[in-house]
Amino acid sequence: MARLYVLTMSCPDRIGIVAAVTQFLAEHGGWIVEANYHADQKAGWFFMRQAILADSFRLTLEEFSNRFAPLADRFGMTWKISDSDRKKRLLICVSKQDHCLSDLFHRWKQPESSFDIVAVLSNHDDLRGFVEWHQVPFHHIPVAPDGNPEAFDEMERLYEKYRGEVLILARYMRILPPVFCRRLERQIINIHHSFLPSFVGGRPYHQAYERGVKLIGATCHYVTEDLDAGPIIEQDVIRVDHDDDPEEMVRLGKDIEKIVLGRGVRYHVEDRILIHGRKTIVFR
């Protein structure tokens, strides 16, 4: 795949933003191969993503940052530029279920992958052999029912040791403490086995069965200190009926969970997500 520089930004909406940015890129040889824009008229906010052929650009990323900064200041932009050749470093947290982890390993091995799995952390030892077969470090960190703080301190220590950039909760069945969530704000992605905001918390398929729903789903979202209430990245559903008991819903739900998490991770590592308040803008 072609090497890209990806520029993302958001700012108060006004006339001339697109013209100014594209003119700047053109002046330095930037060949735009993908361009995405969104104007939130109610919020008065503008969002942009530009993918530029790296070989066409006459600036290094450091030079770009220095020269682009005055333009960004003029429009009050929050922005960043990234290099597609630099893969994001993922740590994955799991408990006992491996369907989401297996799918992420499969995606990681594809040539177009934009991330590296650098370690797996688990509150159980069940998946050690599976993870180490993939030649990935596995760390067993037991977590007490009351959520012993030293376990999460160790998780944070390992995240820093491996220079993690994203922490993926791939059916990690423990609630992270608020201070942990705050320290890694916008760096933790969870897959919740429910179509949020319905059926928050544990055993959502059993909740759905008791409610007699006709659709079940999964939600990929950023983790905040408010349980299952972080900005939503991706969702999908599958139809069920009165013949499906909770166990069958769990089986069906696993397929949706891994698909939704895989999409959400891809959108994040390809810099396709911009967060504004409690919402996300996702340029698919």
- Asked whether the predicted pLDDT for residue 29 surpasses 70, the reply is yes
> What are the sequence ranges of the domains in the chain?
4-83, 88-282
Nearest to 4 by CA among 53, 49, 48: 53
pLDDT digits (tens, 9 = 90+) for 46-97: 999 999 999 999 999 999 999 999 999 999 999 999 999 999 999 999 999 9
Phi first, then psi, for residue 280 (nearest 5°) are: -120, 150
Query: Does the active-site annotation cover 228?
Result: yes
Lowest mean pLDDT among 151-160, 176-185, 209-218: 209-218
- Quote the pTM value: 0.94
pLDDT, residue 272, reads: 98
- Asked whether the predicted pLDDT for residue 35 surpasses 80, the reply is yes
Q: Are strands 188-192 and 32-40 parallel, antiparallel or unpaired?
A: unpaired
Whether residue 258 contacts residue 170, with contact meaning beta carbons closer than 8 Å, is answered with no
Give the residue ranges of DSSP H helices in 51-112: 61-75, 99-108
Average pLDDT of span 177-201: 87
Give 196's pLDDT tier (boundaries 50, 70, 90).
low
Tokens of 165: 């950039």
Query: 3.30.70.260, 3.40.50.2300, 3.30.565.10, 3.30.950.10: which CATH number matches 4-83?
Result: 3.30.70.260
Question: Annotated catalytic residue: which of 103, 228, 244, 271?
Answer: 228
Domain 88-282 in CATH 3.40.50.170: yes
Average pLDDT of span 150-159: 97
Lowest mean pLDDT among 12-21, 103-112, 135-144, 146-155: 146-155
Distances (CA, A) of 21 to 26, 38, 45, 68, 186: 9, 15, 16, 9, 26
Lowest mean pLDDT among 11-15, 45-49, 196-200, 275-279: 196-200
Q: What percent of the chain has pLDDT over 90?
A: 81
pLDDT, residue 216, reads: 86
